[in-house]
Structure formats: C-alpha cells, structure tokens
Amino acid sequence: MYGIHATAVATLASLAIASQTFAADGDPARGQRLFGACAACHSLQSDQNMTGPSLAGLWQRKAGSVETFARYSAALKSANIVWDDKTLDQWITDPQHVVPGNQMTFAGITDASQRADLLAFLKKATQPGVSQTAQGPMGGTGGMMGGGQVPNLKKLDPSDRVQAITYCKDTYTVTTANGETHKFWERNLRLKTDASSDGPEKSAPALVAAGMMGDRADVIFAEPNEISPFITVKCE
C-alpha cells in the first residue's frame, strides 16, 4: 500500500515539475516558426492590438486585462487566470476547455513538444525591452504582391496608395497613385479603417494584399466617413 502511495506521489511530483519546466525545455527557434500562425491575430509589440490583444508582457498578466484592447469576451474578462507556464500551456492545448465561451477561434495544439517550443519562444519574445522581429519585416507594403502583416501605412509607395475606387455590377476597380488599376470581385475586396498610429493619413487610403492567390485585398482608410465618398458607381 505504501508503495502505491509513494508511486502516486512521485508521479504527481514529476507532473508538477514538468508543468514548470516545459517552456525552458522547448526550442525558441522552432517556436518562432510556430508563432507564424499566431502572428495573424497577435502582435508582440506593446499595445499594438490586432484581432487579439498584444502579447507583450504576457507572463504574470491577468487574463483579459490589456486596457487598450476592447474586444475581450465576457468569459475571459471574468476568468480568474494569471498567465504563466502552466496556464498558458493549458490554454494553448484547448482554449475552450480552459475558458468556455471565449471568442478565440484557435482550436489548440495537442502536441506537447510543439507547445513547449512555442512557449519557449514567447517567454523570451514577450519580455519588456526585447526587440520584436518575430513577425517578419514590416517595412514597405511590397505592392500588390506583398503579404504578411500590415506595415505602417503613414508613408506609402505610389503602388500602394489608392487614388480612386469605382464600382460596377459586382466589381470594384481600384486605381493607385502610380496609375495602375486592379479589379476585384466585390466579395474579395474588404474596406477597413485603421485609426492607430500605424494607420494611413486622411484621404490617402492604402491598398494591402490579402489572401494567397493575389485575388483579394484590403483598402484601409483613416476613418469611416471617408469610405462612401471615395467610391464612385461607374460602368464604362
């Protein structure tokens, strides 16, 4: 009986130690590559929120507490969770199991070694003062063949600065400052706003590539009242 008890205690102790050390045991380089899937929704820059909140300063932060992020679910805001190695590993495994009803669409990572790699990278990359290069080059939009995350839109190349948008039947035609025109099926062009410090200047919306095939794009305006006046219904 004592042997069974001792074995159970030893097993629990080993699990506790593992939960404290998986981030240290992971490979940050592999984790950085895994973070590519997270970077579509999360920035590593302080207070640079995207679909999800910034991850800067993540460790020891209470869940749902980034003051500049306004889109937390009620479930996450009311969750009494502080992010550390253990809680983040549980969250990355299955977010809906940890906080039922949260709005994160990420299904989770079942592979423990991949989670360890991702946490090892994040533990370093989210520390205050760390230079954030994980999300790839941010300079220049690269024209219509660009990709990745939206860069600073204050200074745009002529190929990325929208001069006019016309609409005919089911097609938007976007003319950029270099004289080029790009045609999009109406469901493949998204009209957005960005009022942050990275957003475009007023009356100078940006054309940003979206999707893998070059058939989708975003036009990003400085504020909502610019959108309708910028679009002319015109069929040639």
120-155 confidence digits (pLDDT tens): 999 999 998 775 544 443 333 344 333 345 578 999
- Helices within the chain (DSSP H only): 2-25, 28-35, 74-77, 85-93, 95-98, 112-125, 227-230
Question: pLDDT category, 3, cuts 50, 70, 90?
Answer: very low
pLDDT at 214: 72
Residue 212 lies in a domain: yes
Report whether pLDDT(193) > 50.
yes
Phi, psi of 114 (to 5 degrees): -65, -40
Residue that terminates a domain, selected from 64, 95, 125: 125
Q: What pLDDT, in 10s, does the model give residues 59-97?
A: 999 999 999 988 899 999 999 999 999 999 999 999 999
For residue 9, CA distances in Å to 5, 85, 198 come to: 6, 22, 53
Structure tokens at 39: 């970077």
Tell me, yes or no, if the pTM score tops 0.85: no
Average pLDDT over residues 191-205: 94
Question: pLDDT category, 23, cuts 50, 70, 90?
Answer: low
Residues 6+ apart with CB under 8 A from 71: 103
3-state DSSP assignment of residue 191: strand
Domain range for 152: 143-233
Report whether pLDDT(47) > 90.
no
Angle at CA of residue 82, ends 95 and 120, nearest 5°: 70
Residue that terminates a domain, selected from 96, 125, 154: 125
Residue 136 lies in a domain: no
Residue 133 lies in a domain: no
Q: Are residues 115 and 61 in the same domain?
A: yes
Question: pLDDT category, 236, cuts 50, 70, 90?
Answer: confident
Structure tokens at 36: 């590519």
Q: Are residues 148 and 120 in the same domain?
A: no
pLDDT at 134: 46
Q: Are residues 90 and 45 in the same domain?
A: yes
Q: Return the DSSP state at 61.
A: P
pLDDT at 40: 84
Nearest Cα neighbor of 94 from 82, 112, 77 is: 112
pLDDT at 105: 85
Question: pLDDT category, 2, cuts 50, 70, 90?
Answer: very low
3-state DSSP assignment of residue 197: coil
CB atoms within 10 A of CB 175: 15
Structure tokens at 174: 């976007």
Residue that terminates a domain, selected from 68, 95, 125: 125
* Dihedral-angle region of residue 108 (phi above 0 means left; psi in -120 to 50 means alpha; beta otherwise): left
State how beta strands 171-176 and 189-193 pair. Answer: unpaired
Nearest Cα neighbor of 101 from 75, 82, 81, 80 is: 75
pLDDT at 22: 54
Average pLDDT over residues 19-38: 80
Average pLDDT over residues 25-35: 93
Q: How many domains does the chain have?
A: 2
3-state DSSP assignment of residue 7: helix
Question: pLDDT category, 211, cuts 50, 70, 90?
Answer: confident
